Structure 1
Amino acid sequence: MRIFILALDDLWDTGLAVSLDAFALANSFSAQLMKGAPHFDVSVVGVRKRVRSRHGFPIPVQAISSEPKPDWVIVPALAKGTPEQLLPALQRPDVKLAKTQLLKWHAAGASVAASCIGTFVLAETGLLDHREATTTWWLAPVFRQRYPHVLLDESRILVSSGTAVTAGAAMGHLDLALWLIRTVSPQISSLVSRYLLADLRSLQAPYIIPNHLAQSDPLISRFEQWARENLKQGFSLQQAAKALATSSRTLQRRCDAVLGKSPLAYFQDLRVEHAQSLLHGNDADIESIAAEVGYADGATLRTLLRERLGRGVRDLRASLR
Structure 2
Amino acid sequence: MFVHMVLEGVADSALGVGLDVVGTAAELIDAGLTPLPPGTRGLRQRVVSLDGRPVRSAAGRTVAVDGAFSLRGLRKGDVVVLPGMFAASGRTVAKLLAREDIQRAADLLAKAAAKGVMLAASCSATFVLAASGLLEGRTATTTWWLAPQFARMFPRVSLSADLMVVDAGDILTAGSALAHADLMLALVARLAGPSVAHLVTRYLVLDERPSQARYMVMEHLRVSDPGLRAVERFIAQNIGRQLSLDELSRVAAVSPRTLARRVHASLGVTPHELVQRIRVSRAAHLLETTHASVDEIAAQVGYADAAAFRRVFRRFAGESPRRRRGPATQTNTWT
TM-score of the superposed pair, with normalisation by structure 1: 0.92
Residue among 320, 323, 330 paired with 1:317: 323
Instruction: Establish whether residue 278 from structure 1 lines up as the match of residue 282 from structure 2.
Output: no
Q: How does 1:177-256 map to 2 (within 5 A)?
A: 177-183=184-190, 184-215=192-223, 217-256=225-264
Counterpart of 2:330 in structure 1 is none
The alignment-based identity, stated in percent, is: 36
8 Å contact from structure 1 (residues 155, 205) kept in 2: yes
Question: Relative to 1, partners in 2 of residues 1:167 and 1:216: Cα closer, same or farther, differing over 3 Å?
Answer: farther
How far off its partner does 1:278 sit?
Answer: 1.1
Counterpart of 1:125 in structure 2 is 132
Counterpart of 1:101 in structure 2 is 108
Further displaced range: 228-237 or 265-274: 228-237
**Structure 1 counterpart of 2:219, one-letter code:** N
**Structure 2 counterpart of 1:289, one-letter code:** I
Give distance in 1, aligned partners of 2:225 and 2:57: 31
What do the CA deviations read for 1:38-83 (whole angstroms, capped 9, x no partner)? Answer: 8222111111323110111111121133542151111110122211
Question: Relative to 1, partners in 2 of residues 1:320 and 1:125: Cα closer, same or farther, differing over 3 Å?
Answer: farther
Structural RMSD (CA) = 2.2
Instruction: Establish whether residue 159 from structure 1 lines up as the match of residue 158 from structure 2.
Output: no
Give distance in 1, aligned partners of 2:157 and 2:222: 20
Give distance in 2, aligned partners of 1:162 and 1:84: 30
Question: Relative to 1, partners in 2 of residues 1:234 and 1:26: Cα closer, same or farther, differing over 3 Å?
Answer: same
Instruction: Establish whether residue 65 from structure 1 lines up as the match of residue 64 from structure 2.
Output: no
Counterpart of 2:47 in structure 1 is 44
1:198 is paired with a residue whose SS is coil
What do the CA deviations read for 1:187-246 (whole angstroms, capped 9, x no partner)? Answer: 221121112211222222222222312336443333212211121232022222222222
1:172 is paired with a residue whose SS is helix
**Structure 2 counterpart of 1:312, one-letter code:** S
Give distance in 1, aligned partners of 2:100 and 2:311: 49
Instruction: Establish whether residue 174 from structure 1 lines up as the match of residue 181 from structure 2.
Output: yes
Residue among 56, 59, 62 paired with 1:55: 59
Counterpart of 2:20 in structure 1 is 21
**Structure 1 counterpart of 2:273, one-letter code:** A
What do the CA deviations read for 1:18-44 (whole angstroms, capped 9, x no partner)? Answer: 101111111111110258998222111
Give distance in 1, aligned partners of 2:212 and 2:71: 37
1:306 is paired with a residue whose SS is helix
How far off its partner does 1:295 sit?
Answer: 2.7
**Structure 2 counterpart of 1:137, one-letter code:** W
- Number of equivalent positions: 318
8 Å contact from structure 2 (residues 230, 251) kept in 1: no
Further displaced range: 102-111 or 133-142: 102-111
Give distance in 2, aligned partners of 1:202 and 1:266: 20
8 Å contact from structure 1 (residues 211, 221) kept in 2: no
8 Å contact from structure 2 (residues 86, 177) kept in 1: no
Further displaced range: 248-257 or 11-20: 248-257
**Structure 2 counterpart of 1:15, one-letter code:** A
8 Å contact from structure 2 (residues 83, 177) kept in 1: no
Instruction: Establish whether residue 78 from structure 1 lines up as the match of residue 81 from structure 2.
Output: no
8 Å contact from structure 1 (residues 30, 38) kept in 2: no
Give distance in 2, aligned partners of 1:76 and 1:297: 42
Q: How does 1:257-276 map to 2 (within 5 A)?
A: 257-276=265-284
Counterpart of 2:304 in structure 1 is 296
Counterpart of 1:11 in structure 2 is 10
Give distance in 1, aligned partners of 2:212 and 2:157: 18
2:269 is paired with a residue whose SS is coil
8 Å contact from structure 2 (residues 5, 69) kept in 1: no
